[in-house]
Amino acid sequence: MKTAVFSTKSYDREYLNRFNKSHSHELTYFEAPLNENTVNLTVGYDAVCVFVNDNLNKKVIDELSSNGVKVIALRCAGFNNVNLDQATKKKIAVVRVPTYSPQAVAEHAVALILTLNRKTHKAYNRIRESNFSLERLTGFDIYGKTVGVIGTGHIGALFAKIMLGFGCHVIGYDVKENQDLMDAGVKYYDLDELFEKSDVISLHCPLIPATHHLLDKEAFDKMKNGVMVINTSRGALINTSDAIAALKSGKLGYLGIDVYEQEEKLFFKDLSEEIIEDDEISRLMTFPNVLITSHQGFFTKEALEEIARTTLKNLTDLDQEKKPDNQING
């Protein structure tokens, strides 16, 4: 299948090319994201392959259809950046990679907790400057703390089990309770109770209308003073301006994010020689108790292999007129 692959980096090309040897799709790589300004590049292609920050709104879908594109292959699990109704209306199949390495994201959430708590990133920089002082590096024992997990699907469940291994009291919130977690000792509460009880809150839910700005001023006000919040899911789960206010007041004691509301303008790019025009992320970067990583939670060898395998199989299934298990419309 002749496929235009957008938002590509060297690692995308490496893994897709490696696993394409057994599929033989015609892949053309574009570093640019797919959006209204670049959709003209899709003329003559059967499929487009996109990632989290490509914008497939109604206008883009309409032009994809006009250009003859029949398939949208997502190299990720989330599809909130695709106008699914319009794609279905235009008879464009949308496929995704529903799971690639939930362990990778769960482990990254734990890494954010440990780094924020024990300040290893600051200690590393101090030692490189021959500063061996321990001043202002005080952390706290993770053992015995109450960890709230919002969303207990594949990733959230793995994260919860890791935190149980640390000796934490793990509580959860989800529209569907996980019996295996309950058997392991996880207790479910409603959101307000989870906010009130948790020392650490980690987000592992999808971005849908009901979860947009799930953590806002009202939610922060219900939390313990000095709470730690971790987000490795989707940026818009948190109202950034409200989080900044909570950091300034001290209500929010630590914030670790691997995702950001406006990340499509920033993440996966080298902007080291440019002026960052986003005032909110610039403000977040000034807080000593904020740790930001640029959507690297998924970024392991195992995850990249699974993304490539599944994406190419999805294309092959459609090329052979089979409906993939991972098709989310039609």
The catalytic site residues sit at: 234, 263, 295
Integer Cα distance of 246 and 249 in angstroms: 5
Number of H-type helices and E-type strands within the chain = 12, 12
- Among 53, 21, 13, 11, which Cα is nearest to 35's? 53
Residue 222 contacts by C-beta under 8 Å, 6 or more apart in sequence?
Answer: 192, 195, 196
Question: Which parts of the chain are beta strand (E)?
Answer: 2-5, 26-29, 47-50, 71-74, 93-95, 146-150, 169-173, 187-188, 200-203, 227-231, 252-257, 290-292
Tokens representing residue 149 in the block: 């997990």
The rounded distance, in Å, linking the Cα atoms of 97 and 158 is: 18
